[in-house]
Chains A and B, each alone.
Chain A
Amino acid sequence: METETDQIYHLDVGNLLGFNPNHRFPSAPSSREELVKECIEESRKLVQAIANALFNFTSTETNDGPIVQLPPPTTKLPREKHVPRPKPPTKWEEFALKKGIQKRKKDKVVWDEQTDQFKRRHGYDRVNDDNDVPIIEAKATDEPGEDPFAKRLDEKKKRVGKQQKNRLQNLKAAEKAGALPSHVQLAATSLPISGTKSQPKKIGKDELGDVAGLAATSTASGGKFDKKLPGEKPPKKQSKHHQYLPVVAGRGAVNPEKEQTNNVLSKIFSKHSHEILNVGKAINMYNVKKEKKKSGRSDKSGRSDNLKPKKDITKKPANKAK
Chain B
Amino acid sequence: MLEIRTPKTGKAKRVLEKRAPKLVETGKKTLILHGTKTSATVSSVLMELYRLKKGGAIKYSRRNENIRPFESGGETSLEFFSQKTDCSIFVYGSHTKKRPDNLVLGRMYDHQVYDLIEVGIENFKSLLSFSYDKKFAPHEGTKPFICFTGEGFENVPELKHLKEVLTDLFRGEVVDNLNLTGLDRAYVCSAISPTKVFLTHCALKLKRSGTIVPRMELVEVGPSMDLVIRRNRLPNESLMKEAMRTSKDKPKKKEKNVDQDAVRGKIGKIYMPDQKLGEMHLPDKSKGLKRERKESKKLQEETDSKKKKKSSE
A17, A35, A56, A75 pick with most chain B CB within 10 angstroms: A17
Size class of the contact patch on chain B:
35 or more
Q: Mark A71-83, 1 if CB is under 8 A from B, else 0.
A: 0010111111111
Contact of B213 among A27, A32, A55 (CB under 8 A): A55
A191 to B3, CA, bound (A): 11
Contact of A35 among B7, B177, B198 (CB under 8 A): B198
CB pair B247–A83 under 8 Å, yes or no, is yes
Report if B110 contacts A (CB, 8 A): yes
Report if A276 contacts B (CB, 8 A): no
> Nearest Cβ in chain B — how far from A158, in angstroms?
19
> Nearest Cβ in chain B — how far from A118, in angstroms?
15
A270 to B181, CA, bound (A): 110
CB pair B1–A78 under 8 Å, yes or no, is no
CB pair A32–B123 under 8 Å, yes or no, is yes
- Which residues in window 192-216 of A have CB below 8 A to B? none
> Nearest Cβ in chain B — how far from A27, in angstroms?
7
Report if A184 contacts B (CB, 8 A): yes
Knowing A78-B107, A80-B109, A84-B20 are in contact, say whether A15-B216 is a contact too (CB < 8 A): no
Contact of B147 among A18, A55, A82, A186 (CB under 8 A): A18
CB pair A183–B17 under 8 Å, yes or no, is yes
Knowing A27-B193, A46-B149, A47-B145 are in contact, say whether A83-B245 is a contact too (CB < 8 A): yes
CB pair A67–B177 under 8 Å, yes or no, is yes
Residues of A within 8 A of B183 (CB): 16, 51, 54
Report if B52 contacts A (CB, 8 A): no
Q: Mark B87-122, 1 if CB is under 8 A from A, else 0.
A: 010000000000000000001111000100000000
Stretch of B235-243, B255-263, B275-283 lying at the A interface: B235-243
CB pair B146–A18 under 8 Å, yes or no, is yes
> Nearest Cβ in chain A — how far from B181, in angstroms?
4
Report if B191 contacts A (CB, 8 A): yes
- Which residues in window 15-40 of A have CB below 8 A to B? 15-25, 27, 29, 32, 35-36, 38-40
Knowing A66-B181, A81-B110, A84-B21 are in contact, say whether A25-B191 is a contact too (CB < 8 A): yes
The residue in chain B whose Cβ has the minimal distance to the Cβ of A50 is B145
Report if A43 contacts B (CB, 8 A): yes
Knowing A39-B188, A51-B213, A183-B13 are in contact, say whether A75-B167 is a contact too (CB < 8 A): yes
Given contacts A15-B167, A83-B245, A189-B2, 10 further A-B contacts (CB under 8 A): A20-B150, A25-B190, A40-B188, A64-B179, A67-B178, A75-B164, A75-B167, A77-B167, A79-B246, A182-B17
* 5 CB-based A-B contacts, threshold 8 Å: A43-B147, A47-B216, A48-B216, A67-B179, A77-B171
Closest 9 CB pairs of A and B: A182-B20, A65-B181, A80-B88, A78-B243, A81-B21, A43-B147, A39-B190, A43-B188, A46-B147
